[in-house]
């Protein structure tokens, strides 16, 4: 990997100083919103507003030009209209600014003229040794140093996933969803028009970035496919790369051409590239985060044999189908495992896999069954349905005003579900989560939880998916497990030199 690129992108993601070119005191303008996000996000460094018509912005002195800033500038963020960008880039180069994010749109995405203008300022930057993100980008995020240089006021959780997206909306909304689920990001970049820095550059940086363990890409088309493939091939054995490739159908490719002006790769070629390089494909937007969060949180399955724990027979059947569809095996337990389970479960249990826990509220039984299955040599991974996150379901049933009112009106005072009972369930959820974490650490096997978000909300417990993962359906849990196993197989082929 290039040391120069690493050095340059470290300036970008971990700048010591930032100039905002087009900083504004008008609160509905990006020149206000972006620096306000940066300051509110907790980044520590020197922020310099640049605006020739103001003296103070965001309680800081405003500079007429980036060239007037006394100290060094690691990163300039340009939010001014397209026709002034070239001049601003020129001034940045003169100042010796190291990296630059061009938020402004109106370039190659609008047609030939825009492309010419984009090429011009990119050439100026290239000659001056300044790297550019964008134009037409929503900005970047960096977790370790709390840098929120983004247009939407999204405040991601810091974590292990680096994410490069050829769509700002889609990218930032994934960060938001991640926040709701407690899934953390190390870095994020909205790639924009790639006048200078390209998907392959970010991928190369993430590959060696110590803050990053998993790489997530949303790709519409590649401007430098050959280099991208090379970098992916080198990176995959070190860190899993999860990719959503949009524009694979001809309708999608056409839409992509008008969106990012990117050239779409032929679908069959792309599928071949995925396989060769060991990148893991997400088929849908939901799968992007489903899969990335699992890579960031849980161990790899060493084989295809799955043990399933369920609270309800139907969910077990659906899970069995899903495992079969995604090439995983619902393992037959050997006699000694069945005997161990016999010692825990009531005599009428179904003595097979899935293990139906027969809807009891005695959760110690679940704990013991989970341990037996996790320690069984016949099992490579576990899907645990309905146990973790049960609090959420119960809350949806009972914690609502109208129901309690009705109960009062009918003069029934049931003690079935009291707040003490719910507090106990919450505690059990936490204990179960800790047990899952312990068992994953001790056995090295992934445990995937599935809980049905029946309340429509994610409980605080569920919202910490940096240590355990919880899916809203067995199908999504099984598909994710299959993606993990696909990567494991790739690693094994690499080791075997195939």
Which 391-430 positions form the footprint of its own copies (CB under 8 A)? 393, 396-398, 400, 403, 406-407, 410-412, 414-417
Q: Which is nearer to its own copies, 48 or 490 (CB)?
A: 48
User: Least CB distance from residue 278 to its own copies, whole Å?
Assistant: 23
SS (H, E, C) the chain: CCHHHHHHHHHHHCCCEEEEECCCCCCCCHHHHHHHHHHHHCCCCEEEEECCCCCEECCEECECCHHHCCCCCCEEEECCCHHHHHHHHHHHHHHCCCEEEECCCCCHHHCHHHHHHHHHHHHHHHHHCCEEECCCCCEEEECCCCEEEECCCCCCCEEEEEEEECCHHHHHHHHHHHHHHCCCEEEEEECCCCCCCCHHHHHHHHHHCCCCCEEEEEECCCCCHHHHHHHHHHHCCCCCEEEEECCCCHHHHHHHHHHHCCCCCCHHHHHHHHHHHCCEECCCHHHHHHHHHHHHHCCCCCCCEEEEEECCHHHHHHHHHHHHHCCCEECCCCHHHHHHHHCCCCCCCCCCCCEECCCCCCHHHHHHHHHHHHHCCCCCEEEEECCCCHHHHHHHHHCCHHHHHHHHHCCCCCCCCCHHHHHHHHHHHHHHHHHHHHHHHHHCCCEEEECCCCCCCCCCCCCCCCCCEEECCHHHHHHHHHHHHHHHHHHHHHHCCC
Distance (Å, rounded) from C-alpha 167 to C-alpha 225? 18
User: Least CB distance from residue 446 to its own copies, whole Å?
Assistant: 19
Task: Select the residue interacting with its own copies from 87, 208, 430, 475 (CB under 8 A).
Answer: 475
- The answer to whether residue 243 forms part of the interface with its own copies (CB under 8 A) is no
Q: Total number of residues binding its own copies (CB under 8 A)?
A: 101
User: Least CB distance from residue 76 to its own copies, whole Å?
Assistant: 21
User: Least CB distance from residue 181 to its own copies, whole Å?
Assistant: 7
- The answer to whether residue 365 forms part of the interface with its own copies (CB under 8 A) is no
User: Least CB distance from residue 237 to its own copies, whole Å?
Assistant: 29
Task: Select the residue interacting with its own copies from 104, 137, 466, 473 (CB under 8 A).
Answer: 473
Q: Which is nearer to its own copies, 299 or 453 (CB)?
A: 453
Find the binding residues for its own copies in span 182-221 (CB under 8 A): 218, 220
- Residues listed for the chain: 498
User: Least CB distance from residue 66 to its own copies, whole Å?
Assistant: 22
Question: Binding string, 60-99, against its own copies, x = CB under 8 A?
Answer: ----------------------------------------
Find the binding residues for its own copies in span 114-173 (CB under 8 A): 152-155, 165-171, 173
Task: Select the residue interacting with its own copies from 90, 124, 229, 463 (CB under 8 A).
Answer: 463
Distance (Å, rounded) from C-alpha 176 to C-alpha 170? 10
Q: What is the CA radius of gyration of the chain?
A: 26
By CB under 8 A, which span of 7-15, 230-238, 308-316, 426-434 interacts with its own copies? 308-316
Q: Which of 396, 459, 406 is nearest to 430 (CA)?
A: 459
Find the binding residues for its own copies in span 247-306 (CB under 8 A): 247-252, 254-256, 258-260, 284-286
By CB under 8 A, which span of 89-97, 196-204, 318-326, 376-384 interacts with its own copies? 318-326
Task: Select the residue interacting with its own copies from 16, 179, 302, 375 (CB under 8 A).
Answer: 179
- The answer to whether residue 315 forms part of the interface with its own copies (CB under 8 A) is yes
User: Least CB distance from residue 491 to its own copies, whole Å?
Assistant: 26
- The answer to whether residue 496 forms part of the interface with its own copies (CB under 8 A) is no
By CB under 8 A, which span of 3-11, 91-99, 323-331, 369-377 interacts with its own copies? 323-331
User: Does residue 142 have a cis bond before it (omega within 30 degrees)?
Assistant: no
- The answer to whether residue 456 forms part of the interface with its own copies (CB under 8 A) is yes
Task: Select the residue interacting with its own copies from 316, 389, 446, 477 (CB under 8 A).
Answer: 316
Task: Starting at the earlier edge strand, list the strands of the sheet with 75-78.
Answer: 46-50, 17-21, 75-78, 99-102, 131-133
In contact, 102 and 85? CB cutoff 8 Å:
yes
By CB under 8 A, which span of 13-21, 29-37, 67-75, 117-125 interacts with its own copies? 29-37
Q: Which is nearer to its own copies, 212 or 319 (CB)?
A: 319
Distance (Å, rounded) from C-alpha 436 to C-alpha 477? 15
User: Least CB distance from residue 83 to its own copies, whole Å?
Assistant: 13
User: Least CB distance from residue 457 to its own copies, whole Å?
Assistant: 4
User: Least CB distance from residue 168 to its own copies, whole Å?
Assistant: 7
State the chain's maximal CA–CA distance in angstroms: 81
- The answer to whether residue 58 forms part of the interface with its own copies (CB under 8 A) is yes
- The answer to whether residue 356 forms part of the interface with its own copies (CB under 8 A) is yes
Q: Which is nearer to its own copies, 410 or 420 (CB)?
A: 410
Distance of CA 346 to the CA centre of its chain: 41
Q: Which is nearer to its own copies, 13 or 326 (CB)?
A: 326
User: Least CB distance from residue 62 to its own copies, whole Å?
Assistant: 15
User: Least CB distance from residue 14 to its own copies, whole Å?
Assistant: 20
Q: Which is nearer to its own copies, 97 or 273 (CB)?
A: 273
């Amino acid at each position: 990997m290039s040391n120069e690129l690493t050095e340059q992108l470290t300036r970008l993601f971990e700048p010591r100083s930032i100039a905002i070119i087009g900083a504004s005191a008008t609160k509905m303008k990006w020149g206000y919103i972006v620096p306000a996000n940066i300051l509110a996000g907790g980044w520590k460094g020197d922020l310099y507003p640049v605006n020739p018509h103001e003296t103070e912005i965001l309680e800081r002195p405003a500079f007429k030009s980036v060239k007037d800033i006394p100290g060094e500038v690691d990163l300039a963020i340009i939010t001014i209209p397209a026709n002034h960008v070239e001049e601003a880039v020129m001034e940045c180069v003169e100042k010796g600014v190291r990296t630059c994010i061009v938020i402004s749109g109106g370039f190659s995405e609008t047609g030939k003229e825009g492309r010419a203008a984009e090429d011009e300022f990119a050439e100026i930057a290239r000659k001056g040794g300044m790297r550019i993100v964008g134009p037409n980008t929503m900005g970047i995020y960096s977790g370790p140093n709390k840098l929120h240089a983004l247009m939407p006021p999204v405040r991601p959780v810091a974590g292990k996933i680096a994410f490069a997206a050829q769509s700002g909306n889609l990218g930032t909304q994934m960060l938001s969803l991640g926040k709701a689920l407690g899934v953390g990001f190390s870095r994020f970049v909205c790639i924009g028009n790639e006048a200078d820095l390209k998907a392959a550059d970010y991928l190369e940086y993430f590959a060696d970035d110590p803050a990053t363990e998993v790489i997530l890409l949303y790709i519409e088309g590649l401007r430098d496919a050959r280099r991208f493939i090379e970098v992916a091939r080198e990176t995959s054995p070190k860190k899993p790369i999860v990719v959503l490739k949009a524009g694979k159908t001809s309708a999608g490719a056409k839409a992509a051409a008008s969106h990012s002006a990117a050239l779409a790769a032929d679908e069959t070629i792309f599928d071949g590239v995925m396989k060769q390089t060991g990148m893991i494909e997400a088929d849908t937007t939901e799968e992007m985060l489903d899969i990335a969060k699992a890579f960031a949180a849980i161990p790899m399955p060493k084989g295809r044999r799955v043990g399933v724990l369920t609270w309800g027979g139907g969910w077990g059947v659906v899970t069995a189908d899903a495992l079969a569809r995604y090439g995983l095996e619902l393992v037959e337990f050997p006699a000694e495992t069945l005997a161990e389970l016999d010692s825990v479960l009531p005599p009428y249990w179904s003595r097979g896999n899935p293990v139906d826990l027969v809807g009891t509220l005695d959760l110690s039984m679940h704990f013991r069954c989970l341990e037996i299955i996790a320690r069984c040599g016949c099992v490579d991974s576990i899907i645990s349905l309905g146990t973790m996150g049960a609090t959420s379901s119960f809350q949806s049933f009972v914690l609502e005003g109208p129901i309690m009112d009705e109960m009062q009106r009918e003069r029934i005072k049931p003690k079935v579900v009291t707040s003490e009972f719910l507090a106990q369930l919450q505690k059990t959820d936490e204990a179960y989560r800790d047990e899952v974490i312990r068992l994953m650490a001790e056995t090295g096997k992934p445990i995937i939880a599935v809980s049905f978000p029946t309340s429509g909300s994610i409980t605080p417990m569920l919202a910490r998916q940096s240590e355990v993962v919880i899916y809203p359906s067995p199908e999504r849990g099984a598909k994710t497990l299959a993606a993990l196993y696909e990567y494991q197989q790739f690693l094994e082929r690499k080791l075997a030199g195939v």
